[in-house]
Structure 1
Amino acid sequence: MIKKILLVLMLMVCASGADENTKKGEVDHMAIAIAMVYDGKYDTAKSELDLVDINSPELDRAKYYTIKGTLASKTNQHEQAVENFIKAIDETKKLVYVSPKEAQDKKRKYLFKIGSTSKVVQEIKIDPEFERNRQIKIERLYANLSQSYYKLKEYKKSVEALDLSGENGRNKSGLFAFRADCYWKVGEHSNAMEALNYGYKKFSDVQLLKQKYFYLSELKLYKAAVETAKVYIDKAGKKEDDYLYLAQMLIQAKQTEDAIMILEEGKMIFPSNPTFGLMLTNVYLKKEMPHTGATILENTANIDQKYLKDSVEAFRQVKDYSHALYLNLHVVDQKDNIKQKIAMHLERGEFEQITGLKDAMMRNGMHDDENMIYVLAYSYYMVGDYENAEIYLQLINDNDLFQKATIIRKNIEKCKVNPRECV
């Protein structure tokens, strides 16, 4: 929007006509500057503006400051943009109508401002078309001023300027979103909501509803946020992110059953998105329904294999080892595969199964993983293979594991002296 208004402003100042000096063959630096701004040649535009005689009584100051403000805005010099747009507004307000006949009179051609001591001031006439165009220029300048204030994070002033921009501040739904954003940033939440409500009533733009339910959720007004979100989804169409956000709000509002319903619906509508399954899993875990959560996670792993390892862990947690081991067969990463097998065998006291995995462990470079080496040594100890237990205990250097290894060594010595103690 800002680019469009800036372009309109430049075209309007161009259309205001060349100076008298231009007619005499002199260079119109402002016209060149406008063309350079339009072409994106900002350095050249600045150079041309620097050549303008700002003390000339013929200078159209409203045009001059408008161009300077536009250039500053384009080059992200927002403080200068604000300064120049304010000057442009003031100068535009001072302009008075001069008829074509008066413009030809050289004695009167300089009298363009209210407050002149010349007798011509008494002859000033009100021209409706002139006043209408003046107001249009002023309102567009306020629209640009609003944007520049926003860039400077002066949000209150941004809204004030927008209020003075007439239709330019009310003719698009996005301007009400912009206005609401400004109010929100200065903590005027009720004004932000009012702006969104008014904008939606005027334009029926569902994006304003979306912004509203975001704000309501930030205020932790979850019930109102959920109601608004449902209206938004109904009008805007079903989108993955909106379903997920609504479900998250319901979870935060402790409306778990509604959250499950939304997630289940989203899961059916968007079957290729694993996030619905992951969120459902977490919901069921919080409801202390881990087996249901594990089953949903398995279905999610069918959509995206990277969740297969987590699915195995979920079934291990509920002690459904047979199904966990079945799923483990499909875990591609061999290190993860073996570690999960070892964890399940260890929980079940199946030490011979662990020692049987020794070769697979070594093939997959797990001899550097001291935790796994300790488990292997411990398993050999538990099945009475003290010789292999000693071999792997000697590979341990980690302080905590070394202390545990020392205890096992002492037990092995006892077992060797009196095997009955190890029965």
Structure 2
Amino acid sequence: MKYLTARPIGHLMIVFILGYYCSIGWAADKKSQPTDFIELAAVMLKDGHSDRALIALQSVDLKDKKTDLVRFYTLQGLAYLNLNDFSAAKDSLQLAVKNGQKESVIFAYLAQAHYALKEYRDTIQSIDKAGEHASKANLITLKAQAYWHLKETAAAINTLDEGQRLYPKDFSFLRRKVFYFVELELYHEATQLGRQYLKRSKAAVEDYIAIGSALRLSKQYHEALDILEIARLQFPNNEVVAKQLAHTYLDLGKLNSAAFIFEQAALLNPDLQAEAAEIYRRAGRFHKALILNESISDQKVKLKQRLSILLALKQFERAANMESSLYRSGLLDDQEVRYALAYALFSSSRFPEANKHLDHLKDAELFRKGTELRRLMEICKTEPWQCT
């Protein structure tokens, strides 16, 4: 599920690279460097030009005993990591360690490469070797995610709990735990934690939507309503909240509630008028649907929906009189619309016109229905008393 993905690797890179350059001295002996290409690559990498850094490193003579291999492979690994070439990044960083890189931050970088390559056990092991860096919020999240992918759910949740303990004002751990509980089908706990997160974190509308949607997709409709109704009160003008709430009511079969929400949302976005009218139609409130249908701007949507409403109201003459409008809009290319019009004409005793439209039906099911209409028309001609 999307909400279980880790934070972008690029975000972690920025955090770690800045910390790396600001707080860690490379302690390089300039006499050991036959050229300045390594120094040039370091500057380019720091300035965000990872591709240029790799080009500079290509000019380094690795056979020269004076070459600082630790620094070379570290810089190369960081450059590859920045360019999302995770396999190459892992190889270079491991060579840096093999050649004597002692800085524990190297394992933080390795953890990112392993995670991107879905090597989750190696991710955890690298984080455990990252020393003080292992307690950084981003690495705690990465570790929890690695445990989660390994289906070690208790360890994943315990890791998030540790993150909460270390960073009590960072509510991302609590948020992620909500989605873990949803995935584990612990819906009651997920709802309780979700409410706690939304209350404590001064959550954005996106958080309400994400948690409500997760519960809805898990078919926990009443729990989803609890979250989305609160969101509707706090963000009355948010269209996505309105849609999610309306669709949750639809999932529960509460058509009138869903239609009303769409109707209210249409005051801000008239494009939603058609959905409101359609749901009212499905709910059997045909006159209400017809009123809303008048305001729909998309003529094809308006005419097609209007035809279906008039048929439901058994106002066959009005439906049949839509023929020219349906023709001008191109809707008669839709075989279902053409059959509906033919039915309206049949019900208005305009048999020749109905037959003309039935001649155009190619769809097997609609052709069968058309054949039945023709049979009924013949009965009406010979025994009109049966059609009154």
TM-score tier (shorter): 0.7 to 0.9
Range that drifts further, 220-229 or 323-332: 220-229
Structure 1 CA distance for aligned equivalents of residues 83 and 358 of structure 2: 69
CA offsets per residue over residues 393-419 of structure 1, 9 Å max, x none? 444454544444444444444544554
Q: Among residues 271, 278, 283, which one is paired with 1:313 in the alignment?
A: 278
Query: Is the contact made by 1:30 and 1:52 (CA closer than 8 Å) also made in structure 2?
Result: no
Alignment-derived partner of residue 160 in structure 2: 196
Consecutive unaligned residues in structure 1, runs of 5 or more? 94-136
Alignment-derived partner of residue 100 in structure 2: 92
For the pair 1:342 / 2:303, whether they are aligned, the reply is no
CA offsets per residue over residues 113-149 of structure 1, 9 Å max, x none? xxxxxxxxxxxxxxxxxxxxxxxx4312333333333
1:32-51 superposed matches below 5 A: 32-35=40-43, 37-38=45-46, 40=49, 41-49=52-60, 51=61
1:255-266 superposed matches below 5 A: 257-266=222-231
CA offsets per residue over residues 73-93 of structure 1, 9 Å max, x none? 455554454444344435438
Residues 379 and 159 of structure 1: is their aligned pair in 2 closer, same or farther, counting only changes over 3 Å? closer
Query: Is the contact made by 1:222 and 1:249 (CA closer than 8 Å) also made in structure 2?
Result: no
Query: Is the contact made by 1:284 and 1:292 (CA closer than 8 Å) also made in structure 2?
Result: yes
CA offsets per residue over residues 327-363 of structure 1, 9 Å max, x none? 1111222232222222222223322222222232233
Residues 280 and 5 of structure 1: is their aligned pair in 2 closer, same or farther, counting only changes over 3 Å? closer
Residues 394 and 180 of structure 1: is their aligned pair in 2 closer, same or farther, counting only changes over 3 Å? closer
Alignment-derived partner of residue 113 in structure 1: none
Query: Is the contact made by 2:140 and 2:160 (CA closer than 8 Å) also made in structure 1?
Result: yes
Q: Among residues 268, 271, 279, which one is paired with 2:233 in the alignment?
A: 268
Structure 2 CA distance for aligned equivalents of residues 74 and 287 of structure 1: 47
For the pair 1:290 / 2:247, whether they are aligned, the reply is no
Alignment-derived partner of residue 204 in structure 2: 239
Structure 2 CA distance for aligned equivalents of residues 80 and 415 of structure 1: 80
Query: Is the contact made by 1:37 and 1:45 (CA closer than 8 Å) also made in structure 2?
Result: no
Question: Secondary structure of the equivalent of 1:148?
Answer: helix
TM-score, with structure 1 as normaliser: 0.75
Alignment-derived partner of residue 277 in structure 1: 242
Alignment-derived partner of residue 173 in structure 2: 208
For the pair 1:159 / 2:124, whether they are aligned, the reply is yes
Alignment-derived partner of residue 224 in structure 1: 189
Range that drifts further, 254-263 or 137-146: 254-263
Range that drifts further, 374-383 or 348-357: 374-383
Q: Which amino acid aligns with 1:382?
A: S
Over aligned residues, Cα RMSD in angstroms?
3.3
Residues 27 and 313 of structure 1: is their aligned pair in 2 closer, same or farther, counting only changes over 3 Å? closer
> Which structure has the larger Rg over C-alpha atoms?
1
Structure 2 CA distance for aligned equivalents of residues 243 and 212 of structure 1: 15
Alignment-derived partner of residue 53 in structure 1: 63
Shift of 1:237: 0.7
1:397-416 superposed matches below 5 A: 397-416=362-381
Q: Which amino acid aligns with 1:53?
A: K
Question: Secondary structure of the equivalent of 1:244?
Answer: helix
Q: Among residues 289, 292, 298, which one is paired with 1:327 in the alignment?
A: 292
For the pair 1:374 / 2:339, whether they are aligned, the reply is yes
Structure 2 CA distance for aligned equivalents of residues 254 and 77 of structure 1: 39
What fraction of aligned residue pairs are identical, expressed as a percent? 27
Q: Among residues 26, 30, 38, which one is paired with 1:18 in the alignment?
A: 30
Residues 293 and 391 of structure 1: is their aligned pair in 2 closer, same or farther, counting only changes over 3 Å? same
Consecutive unaligned residues in structure 2, runs of 5 or more? 1-11
Residues 242 and 385 of structure 1: is their aligned pair in 2 closer, same or farther, counting only changes over 3 Å? same
Alignment-derived partner of residue 150 in structure 2: 186
1:125-164 superposed matches below 5 A: 137-164=102-129
Range that drifts further, 293-302 or 208-217: 293-302
Shift of 1:201: 0.8
Alignment-derived partner of residue 97 in structure 1: none
Query: Is the contact made by 1:32 and 1:48 (CA closer than 8 Å) also made in structure 2?
Result: no
Question: Secondary structure of the equivalent of 1:181?
Answer: helix
Shift of 1:6: 4.8
TM-score, with structure 2 as normaliser: 0.81
Q: Among residues 158, 170, 176, which one is paired with 2:140 in the alignment?
A: 176
Question: Secondary structure of the equivalent of 2:58?
Answer: helix
Question: Secondary structure of the equivalent of 1:303?
Answer: coil
Shift of 1:270: 1.0
Query: Is the contact made by 1:351 and 1:380 (CA closer than 8 Å) also made in structure 2?
Result: yes
Shift of 1:7: 6.4
